[in-house]
Structure 1
Amino acid sequence: MSDRLASVDDSAVEETKVLDNSSTLSGAVRFTDDEPTVSWEAQGAQAPASTSVQEHLEQAQETTEDLQQVRTANAILKDLSFPLQTASVDAQRAQQRKTVAQLDDYVLPKLASVDSPLTVVVGGSTGAGKSTLVNTLIGKPVTRSGAIRPTTRQPVLLHRPEDLASYAPERILPHLVRVHAENGKLPGADPHTGVDQLIMMPEEAIPSGIALIDAPDIDSISEENRRLAKQLLSAADLWLFVTTANRYADAVPWELLNEAANRDITVAVVLNRVPEGSEDEIEEDLRRMLEEAGIQAAFLLTVSEQERDEQGLISSAAVLPLIYWLRELGADSAQRSAIAKKTLEGALRSIAAQTNTLYEGQQAQYATADHLKNAVYSAYDEAFHTIHASTQDGALLRGEVLSRWQDFVGTGEFFRSLESGIGRLRDRVASILKGQPSQAVPVEEALEVGLHAVILEEAAKAAEVSQRRWLDEPAGRALLNGEDLGRIHEGFSADVADSIRAWQQDIMDLIQREGADKRQKARFMSLGVNATAVVLMVAVFSMTGGLTGIEVGIAGGSGIVGQRLLEAIFGEDAVRRMAHEARENLDTRISELLAEHQLRFIELVDSVGLGPEPELVHSAAQNFEVVSQSMSKGA
């Protein structure tokens, strides 16, 4: 009874009911225990039309272009990682893995060689008799079957010896380690390898152009088996679904059957272990369910309940129509190509839809990243505006600064000098000071301390607000991962001090540039560059705020004093220009300090690597759609 697929007697089948859906031979057959006879007739089988050399070249060119488009799109999908914890991220990550695996396992290899052997994956529920069916087709035990579940721990690929190269890892299912059977014997199962394996078994009984994969149970108690079964089914050109009278309505198989329908994968069905006398009733119900699901089975075979022989095989008569169908399919290259292209087109269409979902997920990733960054930007922008306001409204000119300033200027004498006229003031710049120019140093230090404290305080508030906002978001919490960024980081205080001193040096440089006139230079030199710089700083912190009335009194007239003194040296227009430049310089330095401080948050977002821009993912989906349409036209 060996080599049944290769040497079936054409007079072996008694009863055949033909159901032509698109396949060369389609049938729903029930057998009795009587010696069967067969009368098969190929329906619609035609020899492929002759094709010119030019047509071959055009087809090859189209295939190359399609393959390149899919490879480009696949590379984009492989770069997706969905690192941020969005609402649907787990589903997106699973979808990305599934889509890339299907492209690697099936679409790309098949697209590169549509005329390679047709991969028929035998799959179904636990205890459906898949391995028994495969063994019976071959006529000898070639895969493991038994009562202990899960039975099929290692999928077996049965192929003709000359087709071995077609199933090399670089051609299909690249992530499965190949284990080669020796002398037709399966290697010992090792469930602890931790590596997905595919047992390669050459078998002369397999028809030319066909290969069979005996897959693990789709509802196995082993999660790894279930995952592997789905992976193999995604790599099938044709799915030979095996079920039983007791299990054909189970939910899990129908989930995969519905997925197969959505992908337009060709499905053949074996309804196994049907009680004697219930064949018509159960078969009719199964047909109804298939029709309602939109599935047109290319082949349907009903097998009655029967005992197995000493080799664990069922009656040879039970599988003869399936043997014929596979033989005819293997012999018809046009039909094989049509099935492969139909499955490819459906797979690409399905992948295009999946990629559009991934595109939405990638949009969510970029939107989430922007949201987290904007939460930080807004907190630090608020800090900047607060610091900016405090350096304009006289707030820095109170307390210690005001005291030191009054010691330096001698406010009462200066105001009396203002009454004598600005012209006389220009000639008395040095004499109006109560103390010496060296007394400007305490004012400068007090200003530095005050500005330093304001910047540190507002930066700390911004960091605290940013962290609180992130902790309110799943993505932000995941990025922080327990790290405390809501505080001043080490070294920032020194950076602020350095920046303030650099700003003070810029002001001195500005005074020297502006006082190039000999008369002006003589005036500010008589006061001293440092003292003049302090006066300008005081003016910057007050005059642009428009101090009037009570604020002048509160600040001890600091803004008016500084402004008038500078105007006495440089003139009104020059003072306005100098104050504006000094103010912009200070704002720039404060902005740079805050940008550096907020960088800890921003770098956390940038460090995860969001992957390709969403529009690139959208273009990948369009590539899949274009190639799918191309396959549909060429089918």
Structure 2
Amino acid sequence: MKHTKDVLSDGKMLTETVRLRGALQAAPLPLDLPGAAPLREARAMIIDQLEDYVIPRLMSLEAPLLAVVGGSTGAGKSTLVNSLVGHRVTAPGVLRPTTRSPVLVHHPDDGAWFGPDRLLPELKRVDHATDDPDSIQLVATDAIPAGLAILDAPDVDSVEERNRILAGQLLAAADLWLFVTSAARYSDQVPWEYLKQAAERSTAVAMVLDRTPADAVQTVSTHLARMMSARGLKDSPLFGVAEGPVDDDGLLPAGHVAEIRTWLEALAHDAAARQAIVNQTVEGAIRTITYRVYPIADAATEQVGAVGGLLRLADEQYDVAVRELAHATTDGTLLNGDLLVRWREYVGSGELLSSLEAKVGFVRDRLVNAIKGKPQQAERVAVAVETGLETLIVERAERAAAAAAKAWETTDYGAALVAPGGPCAQLTRASRDLRRRTSLEVTAWVEELQELVRVASGDVRNTARFLAFGVRGLGVTVAVLALAGDDPAEDSVRRGREILATLVGQQATSELVATARDRLRPRLEALLAGERARYLAPADQWELKPEAGENLREAARRVDDLRFAAARRTGPGGHL
């Protein structure tokens, strides 16, 4: 085993398994595609095993051998642990489940190996008995030889889900399974599901047939051995523990567990044997992990494609919305309702235009009367322009959101995202602050037009004609002309254009209107881009990168390359 140990201890395998963990973390499977649920669960379990066992063990190959005592409810695990140690360290009982928090027994010199960086870091370390399932009790005793630790785990078939999950985590973090069953429970399905996993990944296992009448130990052991052989565990030790009286401390007679204790002590005193078990279990875990990674990598690639498909569906709807907005803001669609009423009031019947064209000296009084109230009317037109644009943009955004959601609903996984209570349910409507953002953009656009008018008017800014409307009024006029279309049928629009032309000329008027449209378009597109970007947010949250699948395959291949290289050096019979 020298060469395989070198592969584990030279740092390369540790580096590559850490990279593999990172590649797994970067390949979530957020969409409920067919078959994704079991792969998502497998991914989480692989990450847990890498973090709870493989990586910590590769970082500390010289750590004590950890034997986890697991098995069925009522198999006598706690009594066995107490009997092996020689005094009570864990509490057996009649009520089920009895073991609510794990108990780890180790030699005092080995305590440093079992800090939170070594074994299940999420469990709090305590030095006293506790029923807290989020704690692990550490018991230091000279009764356990250095180099060995024994952990009493919860029942694998516990009625409490938290206990079952913790039992699975602890067994996945073990170097050696001391799996306990009884004459009454040895054929139960749940324990054999765990043992099947152990056989598949070459985990070192020792079976203990406990709580069996003395005259039945041989018969039941023979049948159990056949079952073990048929399930890939023919090389695993099998120990029989006959029923016997349990003293007040919860201990069986020493002779009942002497064979198991002798075997464990021999392991503790034989560094090479311990290392062989560690290598077998670590290498088996790595082999199984890399094998199971490839379907996850394929699923990650499929998820990238599915996410991209959903985003394309959303893009199509927002592209339609952008085109509709561009048309509706340049073809006169908005020149109706309150905006048209306010605009007609502002422009008037044409008398103002006649007054502006007359000699100022003769019409000063008429001009003053004509422009009286115009600032208030201009402001009402500006408000109507802003309200009209806000309504139009929000309506188009709502329509786009509803259409995108409907497009997503054509797939089961997309429908699950936008369903009420789903992670993307908010995407079925426009964002709540869209109207506020639209108001700011439209207000900024009208103010921008005022500055354009100020620059274009040049020398006429101090004339009566300019003062009659002012910068605000003329900016609003440019806004209305831009929204009205190139060939408006509305007389008041033509009149407004004539007014503007008397100030800056026909050419400048055309340029102002064209510029106004050019300045409005990117503002509208930016607003819808913000709405569209909401569909990217879930994908960003998932952190699913296009290269996630290939990165995961490559990480698994690098680990496999090290395994195969070790197998070639080890030759026939190597565990790799």
- TM-score bracket for this pair, using the shorter chain length: 0.7 to 0.9
Which runs of no fewer than 5 residues in structure 1 stay unpaired? Answer: 1-47, 181-186, 415-427
Indicate the residue corresponding to 2:497 in structure 1.
562
- When residues 480 and 165 of structure 1 are mapped into structure 2, their CA distance, relative to the original with a 3 A threshold, is closer
Indicate the residue corresponding to 2:385 in structure 1.
451
Cα distance in 2 for partners of 1:560, 1:289 equals 98
Indicate the residue corresponding to 1:391 in structure 2.
329
* Aligned residue type for 1:257: L
Matched, 1:400 2:329: no
Indicate the residue corresponding to 1:249 in structure 2.
187
Indicate the residue corresponding to 2:395 in structure 1.
461
Cα distance in 2 for partners of 1:274, 1:498 equals 81
The alignment covers a number of residue pairs equal to 546
Indicate the residue corresponding to 2:60 in structure 1.
113
261, 280, 298: which is aligned to 1:342?
Answer: 280
Matched, 1:626 2:558: yes
Cα distance in 1 for partners of 2:102, 2:468 equals 93
Indicate the residue corresponding to 2:13 in structure 1.
66
Indicate the residue corresponding to 1:333 in structure 2.
271
- When residues 588 and 432 of structure 1 are mapped into structure 2, their CA distance, relative to the original with a 3 A threshold, is farther
Cα pair 2:26 2:545 within 8 Å, conserved: no
510, 514, 532: which is aligned to 2:452?
Answer: 510
**TM-superposed deviation, 1:373:** 7.8
Matched, 1:211 2:149: yes
TM alignment of 1:501-540, pairs within 5 A:
501-511=443-453, 513-514=455-456, 530=471, 533=475, 536-540=478-482
* Aligned residue type for 1:300: L
Cα distance in 2 for partners of 1:367, 1:583 equals 38
Cα distance in 1 for partners of 2:16, 2:42 equals 20
- When residues 400 and 557 of structure 1 are mapped into structure 2, their CA distance, relative to the original with a 3 A threshold, is closer
- When residues 513 and 352 of structure 1 are mapped into structure 2, their CA distance, relative to the original with a 3 A threshold, is farther
Partner SS state of residue 116, structure 2 = coil
- Which deviates further from its counterpart, 382-391 or 603-612? 603-612
- Which deviates further from its counterpart, 219-228 or 138-147? 138-147
**TM-superposed deviation, 1:114:** 1.3
Indicate the residue corresponding to 2:519 in structure 1.
585
- When residues 149 and 614 of structure 1 are mapped into structure 2, their CA distance, relative to the original with a 3 A threshold, is farther
What CA deviation, in whole Å up to 9, does each residue of 1:69-98 have, x standing for no partner?
Answer: 444555676799989999999878866664
Cα distance in 1 for partners of 2:389, 2:480 equals 17
Cα distance in 2 for partners of 1:256, 1:483 equals 42
- When residues 523 and 70 of structure 1 are mapped into structure 2, their CA distance, relative to the original with a 3 A threshold, is farther
TM alignment of 1:224-623, pairs within 5 A:
224-274=162-212, 282-303=220-241, 305-308=242-245, 310=247, 319=257, 321-352=259-290, 384-398=322-336, 399-400=340-341, 403-404=344-345, 407=348, 409=350, 430=357, 438=371, 444-445=378-379, 447-462=381-396, 464-465=398-399, 466=401, 474-476=416-418, 477-478=420-421, 492=435, 499-511=441-453, 513-514=455-456, 530=471, 533=475, 536-544=478-486, 547=487, 552=489, 555-556=490-491, 558=493, 562=497, 566=501, 570=505, 576-593=510-527, 598=531, 602=534, 605=537, 609-611=541-543, 613=545, 615=547, 619=551, 622-623=554-555
What CA deviation, in whole Å up to 9, does each residue of 1:379-434 have, x standing for no partner?
Answer: 766555444333322234454256347635479x99xxxxxxxxxxxxx9935999
- The alignment-based identity, stated in percent, is 28
Indicate the residue corresponding to 2:109 in structure 1.
162
- When residues 608 and 616 of structure 1 are mapped into structure 2, their CA distance, relative to the original with a 3 A threshold, is closer
What CA deviation, in whole Å up to 9, does each residue of 1:527-579 have, x standing for no partner?
Answer: 977576566444423444xx3xxx63xx238459838974996455x655443
Cα pair 2:145 2:268 within 8 Å, conserved: yes
Cα pair 2:449 2:475 within 8 Å, conserved: yes
- When residues 402 and 197 of structure 1 are mapped into structure 2, their CA distance, relative to the original with a 3 A threshold, is closer
- When residues 319 and 431 of structure 1 are mapped into structure 2, their CA distance, relative to the original with a 3 A threshold, is same
Which runs of no fewer than 5 residues in structure 2 stay unpaired? Answer: 410-414, 567-575
- When residues 153 and 569 of structure 1 are mapped into structure 2, their CA distance, relative to the original with a 3 A threshold, is closer
Partner SS state of residue 458, structure 1 = helix
**TM-superposed deviation, 1:344:** 1.7
110, 120, 140: which is aligned to 1:173?
Answer: 120
- When residues 496 and 282 of structure 1 are mapped into structure 2, their CA distance, relative to the original with a 3 A threshold, is closer
- When residues 228 and 584 of structure 1 are mapped into structure 2, their CA distance, relative to the original with a 3 A threshold, is same
- When residues 366 and 519 of structure 1 are mapped into structure 2, their CA distance, relative to the original with a 3 A threshold, is same
* Aligned residue type for 1:461: E
What CA deviation, in whole Å up to 9, does each residue of 1:581-625 have, x standing for no partner?
Answer: 2101122333445566x49x9399569944574746864675466
Cα pair 1:118 1:211 within 8 Å, conserved: yes
* Aligned residue type for 1:198: Q
Matched, 1:128 2:75: yes
Partner SS state of residue 307, structure 1 = coil
Matched, 1:198 2:130: no
Report which of the two has the higher share of helix.
Answer: 2
Indicate the residue corresponding to 1:36 in structure 2.
none
Cα distance in 2 for partners of 1:497, 1:222 equals 56
Cα pair 1:122 1:215 within 8 Å, conserved: yes
**TM-superposed deviation, 1:196:** 1.5
Cα pair 1:355 1:620 within 8 Å, conserved: yes
What CA deviation, in whole Å up to 9, does each residue of 1:218-275 have, x standing for no partner?
Answer: 2233444333322221110111111122212212112211222333211121233455
What CA deviation, in whole Å up to 9, does each residue of 1:34-64 have, x standing for no partner?
Answer: xxxxxxxxxxxxxx77x9xxx99x869832x
**TM-superposed deviation, 1:100:** 4.6
**TM-superposed deviation, 1:483:** 8.8
- Which deviates further from its counterpart, 214-223 or 362-371? 362-371
Cα distance in 2 for partners of 1:210, 1:79 equals 36
- When residues 468 and 408 of structure 1 are mapped into structure 2, their CA distance, relative to the original with a 3 A threshold, is same
Cα pair 2:81 2:90 within 8 Å, conserved: yes
- Which deviates further from its counterpart, 520-529 or 255-264? 520-529
TM-score, with structure 1 as normaliser: 0.67
Cα distance in 1 for partners of 2:435, 2:424 equals 23
- Name the Cα RMSD after superposition: 5.2
Cα distance in 2 for partners of 1:408, 1:589 equals 33
Partner SS state of residue 174, structure 1 = coil
What CA deviation, in whole Å up to 9, does each residue of 1:8-27 have, x standing for no partner?
Answer: xxxxxxxxxxxxxxxxxxxx
* Aligned residue type for 1:171: R
- When residues 227 and 432 of structure 1 are mapped into structure 2, their CA distance, relative to the original with a 3 A threshold, is farther
- Which deviates further from its counterpart, 294-303 or 135-144? 135-144
**TM-superposed deviation, 1:213:** 1.8
Cα pair 1:404 1:442 within 8 Å, conserved: no
**TM-superposed deviation, 1:132:** 3.5
Partner SS state of residue 122, structure 1 = strand
Cα pair 2:101 2:137 within 8 Å, conserved: yes
* Aligned residue type for 1:457: T
Larger radius of gyration: 1
* Aligned residue type for 1:602: R
- When residues 379 and 446 of structure 1 are mapped into structure 2, their CA distance, relative to the original with a 3 A threshold, is farther
Partner SS state of residue 395, structure 1 = coil
Partner SS state of residue 541, structure 1 = helix
